[in-house]
Chains A and B, each alone.
Chain A
Amino acid sequence: MVKLQPEPLSIAALQVLLDNTGQSGAQVSFCGTVRDDGDVCALELEHYPAMTQQAMQQLIAEAKRRWPLHQVILIHRIGRIELGQAIVWVGVSSAHRQEAFAACEFIMDTLKSRIPLWKKIHYRNGNSEWQHAKASDQRQAQRWLTNSAAPCDE
C-alpha cells in the first residue's frame, strides 16, 4: 500500500493495518518527523504528481523482490508539515525480523535518493529555502547497490 496525502498521518491506524493475521513474526516501522534544526517552523513538500506514487510502488516491488515480505505500507505527506509532525511512515511485516529491518532501511534510503519529492524549509522569521540533498543520504542509498549490503539468501 502506497499513499501520498496532505493530511496528518494517523500512525496508530497504520500500525493496525500492518498486521493482524498472526502470519507475521516481525513488524518494523519507521517514522520520519519534522526536526527543528534551528528556527525551523515547518516544511513544505513538493512532488511530481504524475510520477511519485508509481515510483513508490516500484520501490516497494523492489523490496519484495529482495526479501520475503508479507506486507509493506509507505505513506508520505505532501504540502505543509508543521514542526514535530510525521513526514513519512513505512511499515514492513515478515516472518522474521532480519528481513523486516533490512527492507525498512532499504525503502527509506532509496526513497531519499530516487522518489521525486523536495523539501522547502520554512523558518520562524518568515524566510524559506530549499533543502540541499545530503551526500550522506546518497551514500546510504549507494550501499544497497553493493553486494556487501545485499540481503542474505538463507
Chain B
Amino acid sequence: MKILFFAALREALATEHLEWPDTADLTVGTLRQQLAAHSPQWCQAFAMYGQMCAVDQQLADDKTRLDNANEVAFFPMVTGG
C-alpha cells in the first residue's frame, strides 16, 4: 500500500510518500498512530497537520478499514477556493 502526504504535513515529515507492507486489520486511525510513533517529530506533525485522510482517493475517517486499499493519503485541513 502506498501512503502519500501533502502540503504542510509533507513538509513537516520531509516525506512525500512511502510504502507500507501490511494492511490486515488496519484502520486509518491505527495507521495514523503507527506513523506518528515513528518519532516525536512525526507525532507532532500528525497532530498539527494530519487531520484529514483519503483512502483510494475518497475522503475517509479514522474508522475506515484499509483491508484492500491501494493508496492512503494524509493531509491538513483543506484550504482551496
User: Is there a chain A Cβ closer than 8 Å to B7's Cβ?
Assistant: yes
| Residues of chain A within 8 A of B80, CB atoms compared | 45, 47, 76, 87-88, 111-112, 115-119
Q: Which of B58-81 contact A (CB under 8 A)?
A: 58-59, 71, 73, 75-81
For chain A, the bracket of interface size reads 20 to 34
Tally of contacts, chain A with chain B, CB under 8 A:
75
For chain B, the bracket of interface size reads 10 to 19
Of B6, B7, B75, B79, the most chain A CB neighbours within 10 A belong to B79
Pick the contact of A48: B6, B8, B79, B81 (CB < 8 A).
B6
A66 to B11, CA, bound (A): 38
B73 lies within 8 A of A51 (CB): yes
Describe B's contact surface by its main secondary structure.
mixed
B71 lies within 8 A of A118 (CB): no
User: Is there a chain A Cβ closer than 8 Å to B39's Cβ?
Assistant: no
| Residues of chain A within 8 A of B79, CB atoms compared | 112, 117-119, 130-133
User: Is there a chain A Cβ closer than 8 Å to B43's Cβ?
Assistant: no
* Min C-beta distance of B77 to chain A, whole Å: 3
Report A's interface with B, CB cutoff 8 A: 32, 45-48, 50-51, 54-55, 76, 87-88, 108, 111-120, 130-133, 138
Report B's interface with A, CB cutoff 8 A: 4, 6-8, 11, 52, 54, 57-59, 71, 73, 75-81
